[in-house]
Amino acid sequence: MSVVIEPITPEDLPEVLAIEVASFPHPWTGEMFESELARQDISRILVARLADAGTPPPLAGYICVWVIGDEVHVNNIAVDPRWRRRGIATALLDAALEHGRIRGGRRAFLEVRASNLAAQALYEQFGFHPAGVRKRYYDHPVEDAVIMRRDRL
């Protein structure tokens, strides 16, 4: 399976929102994504397309990152349930961290649900390590967030 990572376009929003709703109990809204699109000074949303899975290629996932000063913050990442466990999240995270490096990022941060051990394992493969806990950070259900940090990009 060939994956192409590229910046989001406004036409991608319906597919991104469908993945968001399928992935999270408290999904971001269209307005939240539009706000990210309007913040091109710090925000970047990248999408993953399956280049060999049809015409037009289906959108399989996305990642939203901020680069502020020398810090990269991974805000949101999701993969369509039909395409999970095929390396798409890895490709998205790799592209987002490279974007951060190019923009001057030297370290990266993210929050992840304490129960999401699969995501934590992915982040650890990228050199992230637990750096703290945000109590009751998530709603629906209420849950702590593990703050993860990577010190070098």
62 is an active site residue: no
Q: Would you give the distance in Å from CA 82 to the centre of its chain?
A: 17
Active-site option among 15, 62, 111, 138: 111
111 is an active site residue: yes
Question: Could you tell me if 118 and 99 are in contact, meaning their C-beta atoms sit under 8 angstroms apart?
Answer: no
Active-site option among 98, 123, 124, 138: 123
End-to-end Cα separation, the chain, in angstroms: 27
β pairing state of 71-79 and 107-113: parallel
**CA 109, 141, 47, 126 torsion: positive or negative?**
positive
Beta strand segments in 10-151, E: 43-50, 59-68, 71-79, 107-113, 129-138, 143-150
Tallying the residues shown for the chain, one arrives at 153
Write out the catalytic residue numbers: 111, 123
